[in-house]
Amino acid sequence: MKILKGKVALITGGASGIGKETALLFAKEGAEVALADIDKQGGQAVMETIREQGGRSIFIHCNVTSAEDCQRAVHLTVESFGRLDILFNNAGIIRRADVIGTSEEEWDRVMDVNVKSIFLMSKFAIPLMVAAGGGSIINTGSGWGLKGGGRAVAYCASKGAVVNLTRAMAIDHGHQNIRVNCICPGDTDTPMLRNEASQLGQAEADFLREAASRPLGRYAQPIEIARAVLYLASDAASYVTGTALVVDGGGLA
């Protein structure tokens, strides 16, 4: 039996990487999926793939740092599918620099995309989840939200905020039957990971070799993170809330 049958999910950053694989997996497991992303071409391609495979999906062009866009994305999801059960706040960016090398504009941009977007999407989604009888919110954190990392101050600060925002939301909304959890991936083979090498002025092969330096001896594939998100979204995690689930091949160990 498809474990998300009858559920409606809204995924930010759904055009590529972890968001894309999660959208495809959710649809495979029976969910109707709304994709919100600033990347029109990528988002529409994921939507079409889901539809070609017999699923129901819409794409919403959305700047997740805009309150107007976030509210519109939530409302279009409910207008299209009648309800909202799952919100995966996955949109994110990284800037690799220390405090001296990070501009104020870069700091604000990272915090807006990685943290403010979760606040905005959740602000508009939660009342509609309450109306549907509850729901599950999953936020994308990082291993660097639980420990520090070099030359990534804005990113580390933003992901630390995501982890504690998750806990606070879980406390506030548990009585409304809304579970709020955080996924903390290690290095994962996404366009963002490969962009880090460029930002650091490092050869991509060398950077990826370092990323694989963990007990399992490799970095993750997006589908491996998507499976963990599926668990948190599903009834299999019905008593799990306020947690930061680390999926990093043993990197933090």
Residues classed as catalytic: 155
Report the alpha-carbon distance of residue 11 to residue 36 in Å, rounded: 6
| Spatial CA neighbour of 223 closest among 19, 11, 7 | 19
Contacts of 175 (CB under 8 A, 6+ apart): none
Helix (H) or strand (E) holding 120: helix 117-131
Report the alpha-carbon distance of residue 251 to residue 158 in Å, rounded: 20
Q: What is the rounded (10 degree) CA torsion for 193, 195, 201, 202? A: 40
